[in-house]
Structures are given as structure tokens and as C-alpha cells.
Amino acid sequence: MAKSKSSNIIGSWAFLIGVILAIVLGAGLLQSNSTWAIILVIIGLIVGLLNIADEEASPFLISGVVLIIASSLGQQALSAIPVLDGILSALLAIFVPATIIVAVRNVFGLAKH
């Protein structure tokens, strides 16, 4: 299913804003709380729903899984550096829901065939 230009623009902006927000929150430039975590999750859902076309699903899933694993393990390894720990945690809040949405859509697409 091809994505419309307007949904692609919304998804692209959501991705860019989400990554910048994750860096700002992780760096401690904004007070991190549960509201920001919910906003990051919503941005991840928007990215997964609007920004990833069917033909982009496999590369996104591979990259998403690598990012999630690296962020999770990096967060554990770098927990002594609070800024990096916060950034990786915020990135996980975006990419976990986006990857789940794309994976579920991909599975449904495979089931149709």
C-alpha cells in the first residue's frame, strides 16, 4: 500500500521531532517525566503507522531491531553516564512502538498472501 504524500510528511516530521526530543530529554535539557514518555510512544506509533511503506518494512524492521538491541545493551553498559542512558532510553520509547506496529502490519500482509 503506497503512502500518501501528506501522511509521509507527517510521519517524517514525527520521526525528526521524536529523535530531537529524545536527545533533548535524554540530555536533561527538559525535565523528563511520564508525560514525555507517553509523547515519545505516541510519536513512535505515528512513525510506524504513517512513515513506513510496505516496501520499506523489511529494512526498517532490521534497522529497528538492531537499534533496539544496541540501545538496550548500550543503556546497560553506559548506565554510569546519565546523559547517554537517558538518550538511549528515550530512543527506545520511540522505536519499540514503531517497530511493533510495522512488524504487526508486515505479519498481516504476509498472512494475506
Q: What is the pTM of this model?
A: 0.85
Stretches where the chain sits below pLDDT 70 are 1-7
1-12, pLDDT tens digit by residue? 455 566 678 878
Look at residue 1 in the predicted model and tell me its pLDDT.
45
Q: Which domain holds residue 18?
A: 5-112
Per the structure block, which three cell numbers stand in for 23? 536527545
Count of domains forming the chain: 1
Angle at 96 between CA 92 and CA 102, to 5 degrees: 145
Query: CA neighbours within 13 Å on the CB side: how many for 26?
Result: 24
Look at residue 4 in the predicted model and tell me its pLDDT.
58
* Cα-based distances in Å from 68 to 1, 62, 111: 26, 10, 25
